[in-house]
Amino acid sequence: MEYARAAFLPDTFHEVNGVAHTSRQFEAFASRRGIPFLSVHCGPGHEITRSGSVRVVQLKRGPARVGLDANLDYDPFLLRYGNAVLEQVRNFAADLVHITGPGDMGAVGMYVSWRLNIPLVISWHTSFHEYAGRRLQRLLEVTGPRAARRAGSAAESLGLGILRWFYRRASIVLAPNLELVDMVHAMTGRPAFLMPRGVDTQLFTPARRNRLTDTFRIGYVGRLTAEKNVRFLAELGNSLRTLGRENFEIMIVGEGRDESWLRQHVPNAIFTGVLRGERLWEAYANMDLFAFPSTTDTFGNVVLEALASGVPAVVTDHGGPKFIVKSGETGHVAGSDWDFISFVNNLMRDPERHRRMRDAARLCACLQSWDSVFEQVYQAYQHCRPPAAENASKTPPLLSSRVHGRGGS
């Protein structure tokens, strides 16, 4: 396969989140394979570097940047770099521009694609409309649950409308799970292709386990925010104690707005803050069960990292994580809060089942490599057409153009 020359402009790169992690892995893949690749992203300072086949342009966000999360900023004036980035993309002779969503760098990428008349690829990483709805609902809880739910629903509908407009600008759309592949195709009329996630099984491995105590450790890794539904961890702990389970502890890895609430309502929990490298890999390996109550995640990198570490996972039946976990084999996909709690309670009482799930989790994760993910992305790139060709076409993309697997079309 001949690899397209991609100009990749992610909204987040150095931060601690799934999009940034995937972006770094994409750049590393291109470097390993010797594929011509231009990576344009924000960082602590202006910098232009080249290493092998990969060119990197780093831009610095300005003083007007707005904090969207603990370590994620948005610069409403980042488009001031538009013409400078355009020249970098032109000099690189890019075949396409790939952006990761409607952020500040996404706007720059859309502008460059339009000016150069080259295809625009947009990957769906985050369901921003759901995030907006959950956060507004949490913010307005003081007005009463009914009013808060109504406001949250309105924000979600408005956000989805904005996303529909944005993603219709794409030549093709990439999504991390089959449910979203169907949704974005139906919503935009654009060809949609699967772009899952991978894991480095040499870094995330049960071999790093060094905890000797028999206390059952339930772990969570991620942002401590409303859209992650992390307050459910308090309900989980309280319910387990009510059911007579005492020999357990909850480890919470991450930071966010809900941390102070969790410290008050999850007794004896272990709060580590954000972990990286060796400390993160060991934290996973020393868990006995990974509890991920989010209902908004489009994939759930952390779930795959837990499985690779030999840790079975319990997730909800909303969002992308349900496609990662094989219920009954590598963990459980819970249909309700009580189902979630009941599974944890039963697994704690069944060491043999727990052992089988640990082995199965590791085996399953070992089949999910980053190389296979990005090979699939380059296969999807072959379906791109420049904006002029898109506008000239009077017939919408056929449903059969969607790809529902790892093998391309």
Check whether 407 has a pLDDT greater than 50.
Answer: no
132 vs 156, 157, 249, 268, 317, CA distance in Å? 6, 10, 32, 31, 20
pLDDT range class, residue 386, cuts 50, 70, 90: low
**Fold held by 6-198+370-401:** Rossmann fold (3.40.50)
Average of per-residue pLDDT across 41-63: 96
Tell me the pLDDT band of 338, cut-offs 50, 70 and 90: very high
CATH 3.40.50.2000 positions along the chain are: 6-198+370-401, 206-365
pLDDT tens digits along 172-225 = 999 998 988 998 999 999 999 999 999 999 999 999 999 988 999 999 999 999
pTM: 0.80
Higher-pLDDT residue of 389, 292? 292
Instruction: Quote the pLDDT of residue 356.
Output: 98
Question: What pLDDT was estimated at residue 158?
Answer: 72
169 Cβ contact partners less than 8 Å away, ≥ 6 residues apart: 110, 120, 122
- Local structure of residue 113 (DSSP, 8 states): H
Q: For 123, phi and psi rounded to 5 degrees?
A: -100, 140
Q: What is the pLDDT of residue 395?
A: 36
Q: Distance between CA atoms of 332 and 321, rounded to whole angstroms?
A: 10
Of the pLDDT bands very low, low, confident and very high (cuts 50, 70, 90), residue 124 is: confident
The residues, any chain, with a CB within 8 Å of residue 356's CB and separated by 6 or more, are none
Q: Which residue has the higher pLDDT, 140 or 330?
A: 330
Structure token pair of residue 336:
């309700």
Over residues 25-45, the mean pLDDT reads 97
In the three-class reduction of DSSP (H, G, I as helix; E, B as strand; rest coil), residue 273 is classed as: strand
Instruction: Residues 206-365: name the CATH superfamily.
Output: Glycogen Phosphorylase B; (3.40.50.2000)
pLDDT band for position 72 (cuts 50, 70, 90): confident
**What average pLDDT does the chain have?**
89
Give the model confidence (pLDDT) of 78-106 as tens digits. Answer: 999 999 999 999 999 999 999 998 889 99
Q: Are strands 47-51 and 54-59 parallel, antiparallel or unpaired?
A: antiparallel
Question: Where does 34-143 have alpha helices with state H?
Answer: 82-92, 104-116, 128-139
Helix or strand (DSSP H, E) at 305 = helix 301-308
Confidence of residue 145 (pLDDT cuts 50, 70, 90): confident
Q: Given this model, what pLDDT does residue 63 score?
A: 93
